[in-house]
Amino acid sequence: MTTLLKNPRVIDPSQGLDRVCDILIVDGKIAQLGEGLNVPADETVDCAGLIAAPGLVDMHVHLRDPGQTYKEDVFSACRAAAAGGVTSLLAMPNTVPPMDSPEAVQKLLEKSRSADAAVYTAACITKVLKGQELTDLPALRAAGAIALSDDGKPVGNTACLLAALKAARQLGMVVTAHCEDLDLAAGGLMNEGETARRLGVQGIPNAAEDCGTAREIAAAASIGAPIHICHVSTRGSVALIRDAKRRGVPVTAETCPHYLLLTDEALSARDADYRMNPPLRTRADVEALKEGLLDGTIDAISTDHAPHAPEEKADFEKAPNGSIGMETSLAAVHTALAGTLSLSQIIEKMSTAPAKILGIPGGTLREGAWADVGLFDPARRWKVDPDRLHGKSRNTPFKGMTLTGRVTATYFRGRKVYGLAE
């Protein structure tokens, strides 16, 4: 199969590329980039006015597969990914049962082979996510896991965390850390602040995340091992990560679109679709996150895509935390960061950098690379309608919002897996 994408503005941070040219795709690979390519093709697509970029790499996704596939599964999640320009994703291991055995890892990866995106998985650091006893890390690596995490909560036993960091370095795996002091966060439903007080609900202080971030950084620094900090939401964590990088600690970090576009005021209507962990914070935290992205303190933007059924989100105080995000991620980030980061910088944070952190193929349109390509109309405005999204769940915090920028088509390994219906 041969596809010729004509005249898009090609933005590829991996090559420092930002110019109008053509992209020739042959047998799933990028065969040629150049101006005025006139070659026979099975499909020629006029892309004038569109951005062509490497497919996004979302390094924080909850597939709910196995065990909770009424919320999402591998195939529905990858359909949502494709609609958002995401061509590679890292699945978190807090499934039912947890991803703590080689058999579970192998089963998920085998199932995902026919999906509309490349699925990679993190495996559990500790058995049954209990935070006390290490899993068989070499066996999990051999089964295909590329990362380690107890996401959903921190590793309770710091000795276990240190052992995992040491082993991960030797195995070539990434430790992705959920940073939270569970005692400080206990009972909290949202950010501790004026909105929580007005609603009469218990809040979660910034210190719950900041103390967790400080512990993970200190553990990594003590042995010089890399660590990746998940879903950063506070100005304190940004400062801690910035300081650690200045000291030479091998730390990377991510934040999420909802922390850049929303604040805790969004919970004023007591709608649980705006409840996630860590919670939406204040305008001061939002500005600190933007500064952290701009100066390189925060390396990547992921979604923490966390589907839940509508009935689970119906009760504000009893609902589980989490929101969906892959389908809206690029548009939400483009809307939030217009005037702060360039499109090239946004794509670097959402594609090139996470691919590099994870050590996976992706994040590039170099000749010979997989043809994972997203086409994006940066001027197109659209209103987010949950009922028109492609996953199984509807718990988006951007519902009813008008975003600027829309993915119009996605190619995964040369195959068109999404096209915007007019």
Neighbour tally for 289: CB within 10 Å: 26
SS3 32: strand
> Phi and psi for 398 in degrees, rounded to 5?
-100, 10
CA distance 345 to 329: 15
Just list the catalytic residues: 304
The pairing of beta strand 203-204 with beta strand 373-383:
unpaired
Residue 331 class from Cβ within 10 Å (0-12 exposed, 13-18 middle, 19+ buried)?
A: buried
CA distance 101 to 147: 13
| pLDDT for 216 | 98
Type and span of the H or E element at 160: helix 158-171
| pLDDT for 422 | 64
Q: Which domains does the chain have, with CATH numbers?
A: 2-51+371-419 (2.30.40.10), 55-358 (3.20.20.140)
DSSP state of 361: S
CA distance 130 to 160: 11
CA distance 54 to 248: 30
SS3 266: helix
Residues 6+ apart with CB under 8 A from 380: 404, 405, 406, 408
Spatial strand order in the sheet of 251-255: 56-61, 86-91, 118-124, 147-149, 174-177, 227-229, 251-255, 300-301
Given the structure tokens 């995964």, which residue do they identify? 412
Residues 6+ apart with CB under 8 A from 383: 400, 401, 402, 403
From first to last of its 422 residues, the chain has per-residue pLDDT tens of 999 999 999 999 999 999 999 999 999 999 999 999 999 999 999 999 999 999 999 999 999 999 999 999 999 999 999 999 999 999 999 999 999 999 999 999 999 999 999 999 999 999 999 999 999 999 999 999 999 999 999 999 999 999 999 999 999 999 999 999 999 999 999 999 999 999 999 999 999 999 999 999 999 999 999 999 999 999 999 999 999 999 999 999 999 999 999 999 999 999 999 999 999 999 999 999 999 999 999 999 999 999 999 999 999 999 999 999 999 999 999 999 999 999 999 999 999 999 999 999 999 999 999 999 999 999 999 999 999 999 999 999 999 999 999 999 999 999 999 999 86
Neighbour tally for 133: CB within 10 Å: 11
